[in-house]
Amino acid sequence: MSAPKKTIVAPSILSADFTRLKDELQAIEAAGADWVHVDIMDGHFVPNLTMGPFIVEAFNKLTDLPLDCHLMIQQPERYVERFVKAGADWISVHPEAEGNPRLALEIAKKHGAKAAMALKPATAVWAADGVKDLIEMLLIMTVNPGFSGQEMMTHCLSKYAEARKRFGPDLLLEIDGGVKASNVAAVREAGVQVIVAATAVFGERDYTAAIRGLRGN
Ligand code: DX5
Ligand code: ZN
């Protein structure tokens, strides 16, 4: 598999209106979203608490879009099977998490999900070396995980070229954190194929225009 030409846009459901989840999922699907990014937080790995497997199960019933589940949790190996059985298509885990992220990815793959590693801004790209035989995507974060609506740390953009050099042409590179209309050109220029955005989609009135703007066509 080589990197897709078309940029994949994955709105992060974290900034959706949770009183209207079904409508929000249908709206981003109709607006041309490629995936739904789901931020799973445990209140330990990050200072915020969000969604568990039963919410992923509900999303899976409400949309046909692939669910890109970003696990910001300690001991991901304890929970990953439940997320995959709930309908996660992609599982990202952090090497900075306590526990056994490699085992978590092995379990994810065994149950049919695609595996990705997610790196905090301060983590070097070589931190993914130990799982390069397992992963199909590397998520390089451009904010510290925990909350949407933060400013992008633009110095992280140089890590995509480094990752491309280190891991070759086939690994998908995903960005998460602070992507918006004013910096998306630099993001695409950096060599990203998958753009996650919460505020820059759900904070806009016109989701179609927002997604088109992020994709760049
Ligand atoms: C932060 C999450 C992000 C977040 C992005 O921990 O991983 O996915 O929702 O939000 P924005 O696009 O607003 O920076
Ligand atoms: Zn995320």
User: Among the atoms of ligand 1, which is closest to the Cα of residue 37?
Assistant: 8
Residue 57 pLDDT grade (very low, low, confident, very high; cuts 50, 70, 90): very high
Q: Let me know if residue 131 belongs to a domain.
A: yes
Q: Determine the distance separating the centroid of ligand 2 and the alpha carbon of 70, expressed in angstroms.
A: 5
Pocket test for ligand 1, best of 42, 183, 196 (most atoms within 8 A of CB): 196
Give pLDDT, residue 217. 74
Q: Determine the distance separating the centroid of ligand 2 and the alpha carbon of 38, expressed in angstroms.
A: 7
Q: Determine the distance separating the centroid of ligand 2 and the alpha carbon of 12, expressed in angstroms.
A: 7
Q: Let me know if residue 161 belongs to a domain.
A: yes
d(CA 9, CA 217): 12
Q: What are the CA-CA distances from residue 158 to residues 111, 124, 140 (Å)? A: 34, 11, 10
* Residue 39 appears among annotated catalytic residues: yes
Give pLDDT, residue 32. 98
Could you say which ligand is closest to the alpha carbon of residue 139? 2
The string of pLDDT tens digits covering residues 65-114 is 999 999 999 999 999 999 999 999 999 999 999 999 999 999 999 999 99
d(CA 155, CA 157): 5
Q: Determine the distance separating the centroid of ligand 1 and the alpha carbon of 116, expressed in angstroms.
A: 17
* Residue 133 appears among annotated catalytic residues: no
Question: Which residues 6+ apart lie within 8 Å of 211 measured at CB?
Answer: 9, 11, 28, 31, 32, 33, 201
Q: Let me know if residue 2 belongs to a domain.
A: no
Q: Which of 34, 39, 42, 68 is catalytic?
A: 39
Q: Let me know if residue 1 belongs to a domain.
A: no
User: Among the atoms of ligand 1, which is closest to the Cα of residue 12?
Assistant: 9
In terms of residue numbers, what domain contains 173?
8-215
- What is the value of pTM for the model shown? 0.97
Q: Let me know if residue 81 belongs to a domain.
A: yes
- What's the CATH number where 86 sits? 3.20.20.70
* pLDDT at 2 > cutoff 60: no
The string of pLDDT tens digits covering residues 11-20 is 999 999 999 9
Ligand 1 — pocket residues by CB below 6 A? 12, 14-15, 37, 39, 70, 143, 145-150, 176-179, 196-200
Q: Let me know if residue 3 belongs to a domain.
A: no
Q: Let me know if residue 14 belongs to a domain.
A: yes
The string of pLDDT tens digits covering residues 142-200 is 999 999 999 999 999 999 999 999 999 999 999 999 999 999 999 999 999 999 999 99
Is residue 57 within 8 Å of 87, Cβ to Cβ? yes
Give pLDDT, residue 52. 98
Domain count, the chain: 1
**What would the mean pLDDT of 202-211 be, rounded to a whole number?**
98
Q: Let me know if residue 71 belongs to a domain.
A: yes
